[in-house]
Amino acid sequence: MALLEVDGLVTRFELAGGGFDVIDGATLEVAAGETVGLVGESGSGKSMTLRSIVHALPPKAAITGGRITFDGQDLTRPSARTLRRVRGRGIGMIFQDPVSALNPVLTVGDQLSETLQLTAGVRREKARKARAVELLRLVGVPEPDRRLSAYPHELSGGMAQRVVIALALVGEPRLLLADEPTSALDVTVQAQILQLLVELQQRFEMAVVLVSHDFGVVAQTCRRVYVMYGGRVVEEAPVVDLFARPRHPYTAALLACIPSLEADRPEGLPAIRGAPPDLADPPPGCRFHPRCPLAIDACQEEDVPLLDVGPARRAACLRHEIVDRGSVAPPPVAAEAAP
């Protein structure tokens, strides 16, 4: 049995002008100790999927369908007591922007101490301080004793991210949800944070769900990957197989857009034509069909479910048999002429 199972998840926003489903039937699973990637364009539903799992949704959003199961326990509509027990101890989360994830008016030490008391039940102040220093040292924060008295605005982006990771590890969770943990960092710090996550995953034997829009990050860290588009999962595959031959046109187009030092592209970088769907008024049928070079009339007529397309592989595409990286390469965006 999988450690985490999300089956047909629907998360809905209710606004003054009407409601819409930001997640529409998403399905995924994560085994114990496994690292899984969740990729897609901005607005595809990646972050909202993670927030739905731990019920950290905005006030106007709610889960209206589907089922979430963690370690055999139903988390679809948990009690407040169940949520307190699962958050931190069962499931830890690294939020997207490390600086905004920290309380600006509390020191690093105060935030770690409070989390240690509430999540791990460490009552003695001296023990909390010792454990806080240990956690900061574990995530590679230099001079951890001094950093306890620092405020978030005094930290660099990479250092703030390490503190956020330390907070997520307080309860030694079995599952870590990492929402684009390297997106706001420079390339060198990104590599350090990714290596840190790999080492921590192995040390604590955690499962990890890594949200990213960067296939390079996913290839470096994950064993399997789910691709999301328009609030839906459109492809699921082992990472190696996905790179070798994608089976959904959207995945193939994303891969074709990856810059390459070897490719000769004097005409410019490829870009997927069109724009992501308006979730308040999505197109009928496959949500990618208005942008898809392989679309046929049937793609517009009804929703396309995830279809078995190979060993441990599924794709929501009627024409998955003819999809490959070359067949749906998006047209290049021409470079602007110099003034």
Query: Residue 80's domain is classified under what CATH number?
Result: 3.40.50.300
154 with 57, same domain?
A: no
* Report for 100-104, 191-195, 236-240, 257-261: range of highest mean pLDDT: 236-240
Asked whether the predicted pLDDT for residue 334 surpasses 60, the reply is no
Based on the fold, state whether residues 180 and 198 are members of the same structural domain.
yes
Residue that the structure tokens 């956690």 belong to: 135
Among 117, 147, 170, give the residue marking a domain's end: 170
Does 185 have pLDDT greater than 80?
no
Question: Are 210 and 313 part of one and the same domain?
Answer: yes
- Whether 24 and 129 map to the same domain: the answer is no
Q: What is the pLDDT of residue 338?
A: 42
> How many domains does the chain fold into?
2
Tell me the pLDDT tens digit for each residue of 251-290: 999 998 877 666 555 566 778 888 999 999 999 999 999 9
Of 56, 53, 26, 38, nearest to 174 by C-alpha is 53
Instruction: Say yes or no: 112 and 145 in one domain.
Output: yes
Per-residue pLDDT at 337 exceeds 80: no
Output b/e per residue, 317-336; b: 16+ Cβ within 10 A. bbbbeebebeebebeeeeee
Which of 136, 170, 204 corresponds to the end of one domain? 170
Sheet containing 307-310, strands listed edge to edge, beginning at the edge strand earlier in sequence: 91-94, 175-179, 207-212, 35-39, 224-229, 232-238, 313-315, 307-310
CB 207 within 8 A of CB 70: no
Identify the DSSP state of 29: E
State the DSSP H helix or E strand holding residue 133, giving kind and residue range, or none if neither.
helix 125-138
Task: State yes or no: pLDDT of 160 exceeds 50.
Answer: yes
136-145 mean pLDDT: 93
What is the pLDDT, as a whole number, of residue 173?
94
Residue 60 token pair: 């106007």
Quick one: pLDDT at residue 121? 86
Please tell me whether residues 198 and 334 are part of one structural domain. Answer: yes
Range of the domain at 15: 1-90+174-339
Q: How many CB atoms lie within 10 A of CB 306?
A: 18
92, 93, 94, 98 alpha-carbon torsion, rounded to 10°: -110
pLDDT of residue 257: 82
- Residue 111 in tokens: 């935030």
Looking at 130, 155, 170, the residue that finishes a domain is 170
| Residue at 55 is within a domain | yes
* Whether 203 and 121 share a structural domain: no
Q: Read off the pLDDT of each residue in 89-97 and give the average, rounded to a whole number.
A: 89
Please report whether residue 315 resides in a domain: yes
pTM, to two decimals: 0.90
CA nearest to 220, candidates 203, 236, 204, 196: 196
What pLDDT is stored for residue 15 in this prediction?
Answer: 86
Tell whether 137 and 220 lie within a shared domain: no
Answer yes or no: is pLDDT of 220 > 90. Answer: no
**110/125 same-domain check:** yes
Where is 112: in which H helix or E strand?
helix 108-119
Mode of pairing for the β-strands spanning 232-238 and 175-179: unpaired
Asked if 211 and 273 sit in the same domain, the reply is yes
Structural domain contains residue 221: yes
Position 335 scores a pLDDT of 52
First to last CA, the chain: 61
Q: What percent of the chain has pLDDT over 70?
A: 93
User: Is residue 96 in a domain?
Assistant: no
Please say if the pLDDT value at position 339 is more than 60: no
* Burial environment of residue 113 by CB neighbours within 10 A (0 to 12, 13 to 18, 19 or more): buried
- The set of residues, in sequence order, having a beta carbon less than 8 Å from that of 287 and lying 6+ positions away, is 229, 230, 231, 232, 277
Q: Which helix (H) or strand (E) segment is 235 a member of?
A: strand 232-238
What percentage of the chain exceeds 90 in pLDDT? 70
What is the model's pLDDT at position 3? 96
Q: Residues 179-200: what's their mean pLDDT?
A: 86
- Contacts of 100-106 spanning 24+ positions with Cβ under 8 A: 101/164, 102/152, 102/160, 102/163, 102/164, 103/152, 104/151, 104/152, 104/153, 105/151, 106/151
Q: What is the chain's mean pLDDT, rounded?
A: 90
Q: Give 5-64 pLDDT, tens digit per residue.
A: 999 999 999 988 889 999 999 999 999 999 999 999 988 999 999 999 999 999 999 999
- Banded model confidence at residue 215, pLDDT cuts 50, 70, 90: confident
Strand partners, 26: 9
Q: Which residues have CB under 8 Å from 192's CB, separation 6+?
A: 140, 158
Q: Are residues 330 and 231 in the same domain?
A: yes
In a domain, 188, yes or no: yes
Q: How far apart are CA 123 and CA 100, in angstroms?
A: 27
Residue 62, token pair as written in the block: 């709610």
Residue 188: per-residue pLDDT: 84
Evaluate whether residue 95 is within a structural domain: no
Q: Is there a single domain that holds both residue 72 and residue 113? A: no
pLDDT tier for residue 154 given thresholds of 50, 70 and 90: very high
